[in-house]
Amino acid sequence: MNKLPRSSGRECIRALEKVGFYFKRQEGSHVILRRDDPFAQISVPLHKELDRGTLRSIIRLAGLSVDEFVDLL
């Protein structure tokens, strides 16, 4: 298992868009991304640096492994 990298909210959004997520809406500093098939909806905070636990949760909700996510960055 690869070490979880430090990344910003925008970097995380760009990586998730590569696997089929698209911008749904924004509420304050949180962007809601959606994927239709298979259905998933994720909230990504637009922070300069995401906490490791938050990033790990986003990766898990997207159905990715840490290694797959690192390859998308």
Non-local (6+) Cβ contacts of 15 within 8 A are 7, 69, 72, 73
Considering the chain, what is the average pLDDT of its residues? 90
pLDDT per residue as tens digits for the range 16-34? 999 999 999 999 999 999 9
Question: Considering the entire predicted model, what is its pTM?
Answer: 0.84
The pLDDT confidence band at residue 10, using thresholds 50, 70 and 90, is: very high
Residue the block writes with tokens 């990504």:
44
